[in-house]
Amino acid sequence: MPPLNCSEHSVVVEGAVATLLALECGLGLLGNLVALWTFFSRLKVWKPYAIYLFNLVIADLLLTVCLPFLAAFFLQHETCSFRPVPSRVLFFLWALGRSVGVAFLTAVALDRYFRVVHPQLRVNLLSLRAAWGISVLVWLLMAVLSHQNLLVPAAECAGPEPGGGGPFSLTWQEVLSFVQFLLPFSLILFGNVGVMRALQRRLRDSDKQPKLQRARALLATVVVLFALCFLPSFLAQVLLAAFRGTDSCGVWTALVRTSHVAGSLTGLQSVLNPVVYCFSSPAFRHSYRKVFLTLRGRGQEAREPGWGHRDFDS
């Protein structure tokens, strides 16, 4: 166990983390509200792929709502200003939004993999009802896996990294965090490599190169997004687990602060996921362009495109 007197706080680190969380909240809220509006106002044709993206938006919004409270948590030197039960619910919802977001980002990658690489499989004939059923099961499974945040003793306030609840709680959360990074990241890499190889074989003609470039950009975006948001937190947690028995207060404090900064980067998923939506459908590209031009005072330039934009790119 780490030294018991390692309780020194860093105003600089905590302020930086709180500022980053606040920025993620503002940008994530704007981007995902625009995405939600696009789903309900512009998309007439829904496919399983669209349903997974819709659930990804909901998970991002849930995560975004929790960010201001997490920012306040760090500004108050990692203490909760509200009662134990609301604090447990807050960190439960934060963990739930993050894990559900990862799950549906993986589902989006796998759906595209099966449709492009194995179009003959029956999984590609999945009905909308079945896709909604899978989505509900994902939410329930992630809620069960995140339930440990609700069991933190009343005297403690759980943080976004493993902590509280005794040795079993620490081990459970660490193992769960590792699995929730390694398994989805491996599946996303595997699926994207397979899709890219299949598209390079099929889209060799010069007139199909724009479609190939768009698909390549989408696949690269998903991989980079996942790595940027979750790889630093994963590496920080590995170091925390490796040095948990250290007697050096300085080492442990440095690792905890690094974990705080790395953990705050996971909120970037709510900011960067709209990039995935833009590559997935022209409807989203038009919506975000319209918002951008409106913010610049040039809203009249965002005209409706002449092509069909109510379906997702194949």
What SS3 state is found at 204? coil
* Residue 179 resides in a domain: yes
* Residue 6 resides in a domain: no
- How many domains are contained in the chain? 1
* Residue 313 resides in a domain: no
| Mean pLDDT of all residues in 15-28 | 92
User: In whole angstroms, what is the distance from residue 96 CA to residue 62 CA?
Assistant: 8
User: In whole angstroms, what is the distance from residue 310 CA to residue 283 CA?
Assistant: 6
CA-nearest of 236, 226, 312, 216 to 272 is 226
Per-residue model confidence (pLDDT) at position 72: 87
Place 161 in a pLDDT band, splitting at 50, 70 and 90. Answer: very low
* Residue 312 resides in a domain: no
Higher-confidence residue of 226 and 301: namely 226
pLDDT at 142 over 60: yes
Is the separation of the CB atoms in 188 and 109 below 8 Å? Answer: yes
User: In whole angstroms, what is the distance from residue 92 CA to residue 150 CA?
Assistant: 6
* Residue 3 resides in a domain: no
pLDDT at 172 over 70: no
Name the DSSP letter for residue 151. Answer: G
Place 140 in a pLDDT band, splitting at 50, 70 and 90. Answer: very high
* Token pair belonging to 300: 């009249």
User: In whole angstroms, what is the distance from residue 175 CA to residue 164 CA?
Assistant: 15
Query: What is the value of pTM for the model shown?
Result: 0.84
**Cα atoms found within 13 Å of the Cα of residue 276, Cβ hemisphere only:** 30
* Token pair belonging to 255: 């690792």
Place 27 in a pLDDT band, splitting at 50, 70 and 90. Answer: very high
* Residue 273 resides in a domain: yes
* Residue 255 resides in a domain: yes
Q: What is the CATH number of the domain that holds 205?
A: 1.20.1070.10
Q: pLDDT (tens digit, 9 = 90+) per residue, 210-252?
A: 666 777 777 888 888 888 888 898 888 888 888 877 777 888 8
Cα torsion angle, 241, 244, 250, 256, sign: positive
Residues 6+ apart with CB under 8 A from 148: 165, 169, 172, 173, 176
* Residue 121 resides in a domain: yes
Place 310 in a pLDDT band, splitting at 50, 70 and 90. Answer: very low
User: In whole angstroms, what is the distance from residue 212 CA to residue 126 CA?
Assistant: 25
282-295 helix and 268-280 helix, angle to the nearest 10 degrees: 120
- Domain limits for position 199: 11-301
